[in-house]
Amino acid sequence: MLAKTCLSCGYRGPALQGPARALRCPGCGADLYARPPRSYAELEGFLPSEDTIDMHVAGSTGRGRRQRVRRARSFAFRVLVMGLIITPPLVVVAAAGALAAIWMLRG
């Protein structure tokens, strides 16, 4: 799943793994600089490919950052809504408990 594979022929030998990779595919001779080998996880979008990471670093003040801010805001909003849904019953139970304790102390 993480083994780099030549996109032209499917070769996934040791020459394509690791940081110092071959520039030509040993299987078919394809130019791996122009079309870098990718792992299955990268192709399916489970992992960012190395090219994508470079693009994110280059444009970290642009769309990627704005998207992250929007996602964080959406998450904070959801946490707030969940808090508002969960908290009232707890307040009611606590108030009922306090009233019951006061009532028992009186009687």
DSSP 5: B
DSSP 60: T
Nearest-angstrom CA–CA distance, 96 and 101? 9
> Which residues between 43 and 102 bind Zn ion (CB under 5 A)?
none
Nearer to Zn ion, 28 or 102 (CB): 28
| Shortest reach from residue 15's CB to Zn ion, in Å | 10
DSSP state letters, 7-45: TTT----GGGSSSS--SB-TTT--BTTTS--B-HHHHHT
Question: What are the residues whose beta carbons fall under 8 Å from the beta carbon of 27, sequence distance 6 or more?
Answer: 6, 9, 10, 11, 13
13 lies in the binding site for Zn ion (CB under 5 A): no
Span interacting with Zn ion, options 4-12, 70-78, 79-87, 96-104, rule CB under 5 A: 4-12
Span interacting with Zn ion, options 10-18, 56-64, 66-74, 78-86, rule CB under 5 A: 10-18
Span interacting with Zn ion, options 14-22, 23-31, 46-54, 57-65, rule CB under 5 A: 23-31
| Shortest reach from residue 49's CB to Zn ion, in Å | 17
Site for Zn ion, rule CB under 5 A: 6, 8-9, 11, 25, 27-28, 30
